[in-house]
Structure 1
Amino acid sequence: MKKKRILLKIGSNTLTKETDNLSRGKIEDIANQIAKLQDTCEFIIVSSGAIAVAKQFVKLESKQKEVFVKQALASIGQPHLIRIYQEIFREYGLLSSQCLLSYSDFEKEESRTNIMNTIKVLVNNSYIPIINENDTVATDEIQFGDNDKLAALTASLLGVDLCIIATNTNGIYTKASIENGTPETIKVVEDFDTLRAQVVSSKSSHGSGGMESKIEAAAVTKSANIETWIVNGLEDNFIINAFDDKVAFTKIK
């Protein structure tokens, strides 16, 4: 039976559970779900969190622009982030690997082909690619919005069956319900233009994204005919619960 190929994007807010520290418990939750689903699904992960990891134990003093400090923090945090993933995933019998990508990689045909071929070999050999932006070479202008766009471009390039964006809300809320202080989830999106009108501009507290960047990401996957789910990754068992329709989330057809 052909497995469903899923691109799972995990932002900094999800990985830290909205604290100042990386949550090993959240990575265990993700590993546990992937292990339970591995007979029917194969996963490719796009993960933020390198800067958040570094900030736990490093404070860099610099007169350089903030973007260079962030790039330095990413350089320090990325090996730790992958080590934590590998340690926890191994406990659940899962193999993982690291892939660092830059925006320019998607603009060159040769690079696009290399990405596809490398990830295909990894997935076919039961390795879970853990992808992050190559922050140490990215500049301020080309940084992905908390990896939302990176996830969408990767999902489109690989032609996955489903893209799941884990965030800190129960999907996308209607604008009126946010203004009323009683958030109500938009469960299914058929008309994308109507969805854009509902989005309230905001940034996440630890990441660089926000709901706007998730809508832009969904526009990319939609044009590649890939369904996107925006799910509350702070909840335990969020992937399986979404599959079983036990939680409120947004499904963008």
Structure 2
Amino acid sequence: MQKKKRILLKIGSNTLTKETDNISRGKIEDLASQIAHLQDTCEFIIVSSGAIAVAKQFVKLESKGKDINVKQALASIGQPHLIRIYQEIFREYGLLTSQCLLSYSDFEKEQSKTNIVNTINVLVNNNYIPIINENDTVATDEIKFGDNDKLGALTASLLNADLFIIATNTNGIYTKESMENGIPKTIKLVEDFKHLEDEVVSSKSSHGTGGMQSKVDAILVAKKANIETWIVNGLEDNFIMNAFNDKVPFTKIK
């Protein structure tokens, strides 16, 4: 049998909500449809944000504690709901899912790294799609810093992914000049990482905690592991298929 292409897909809160205040079931259906279409040639591992966004649909927490603790509590409430939505929709497309909660500290311990690789390989080999998120109740890195971009890159590196796709709310990374002119132009191919760093305009997303700088940091992690990265507009329908068929503008980092 031909070896399947291993794809690590990182999908952020802005993409999952389609830039609204609610998780978009339609976006998760779009995701499931594409994965089902590609399952004979590709295997997917998903790093998904969205737990806090889901929780905000259900509850409003009052607290005298720090804002970060409230967000951790919201993540705890939202995570089971997020996984349930994935399970329900993916099942309709004949896809099986599992939940994996990781922390950045897991990538610093050899035994933990071995356990992650072994567990996820068993899941993937048995046709389960791991849905990975940071364990926000014990760690705050995603909440504070990176909207799972770095977690996605570290996971892609650890699992020897063939391709790292970051689904975001732009058509890839835009040139600095075009952003200043107000007419965004996508950088389609990056072969010089220093040039990419010079082009990036720092900005934060509304639901997410990252922005383009966190994506550049993630790209660097993937680059060190010789993994190609694509920055694709996940708000568009069929965004993975369209990128594969070169039908849409997106950034490819060799």
Structure 2 length-normalised TM = 0.98
**Which secondary structure state, in structure 2, belongs to the residue aligned with residue 90 of structure 1?**
helix
Distance change in 2, residues 1:238/1:29 (3 Å) = same
Q: Report the Cα offset of residue 173 of structure 1.
A: 0.1
Counterpart contact for 2:175–2:199, Cα < 8 Å: yes
- 2:161 alignment counterpart: 160
Which residue in 2 is equivalent to 1:132?
133
- Structure 1 residue ranges, 4+ long, deviating more than 4 angstroms after superposition: 140-144
Amino acid at match of 1:62: S
Cα distance 1:106–1:142, how it changes in 2: closer, same or farther (>3 A)?
farther
Q: Counterpart amino acid of 2:210?
A: G
Residue in 2 that maps onto 1:224: 225
**Percent same amino acid at aligned positions?**
84
Q: CA deviation at 1:181?
A: 0.4
Kindly indicate whether the alpha-carbon contact (under 8 Å) linking 1:67 and 1:140 is maintained by their aligned counterparts in 2. no
Q: Give per-residue Cα distances to partners, 1:219-252, cap 9 Å, x unaligned.
A: 0000000000000000000000000000000000
Shift of 1:119: 0.2
**Structure 1: tracts of 5 or more residues without a match:** none
> What is the CA–CA distance in structure 2 between the aligned matches of 1:137 and 1:200, rounded to whole Å?
31
Aligned equivalent of 1:173: 174
- Residue aligning to 1:247: 248
Q: Match for residue 41 of structure 2? A: 40
Pairwise CA distance, 1:6? 0.1
Q: Give the SS at the match of 2:146.
A: coil
Deviation for aligned residue 1:143: 4.9
Question: What's the counterpart of residue 193 of structure 1?
Answer: 194
The whole-number CA distance in structure 2 between the counterparts of 1:29 and 1:162 is: 20
Q: Report deviation, 1:144.
A: 5.0
**Deviation string, structure 1 residues 138-162 (Cα, Å, up to 9, x no partner):** 1369855000000000000001000
How many angstroms apart in 2 are the aligned matches of 1:26 and 1:140?
26
Contact kept, 8 Å, 2:142 with 2:148, in 1: the verdict is: no
How much does 1:109 deviate?
A: 0.3
Contact 2:47 2:148 in 1 (8 A): yes
Kept in 2: contact 1:9–1:151 (CA 8 A): yes
Please give the root-mean-square deviation of Cα atoms over the aligned residues, in Å: 1.0
Instruction: Look up the match of 1:111.
Output: 112
Deviation at 1:57, TM superposition (A): 1.3
Aligned length: 253
Which whole-Å CA distance do the structure 2 matches of 1:158 and 1:127 have between them?
15
State the 1:180 CA deviation: 0.1
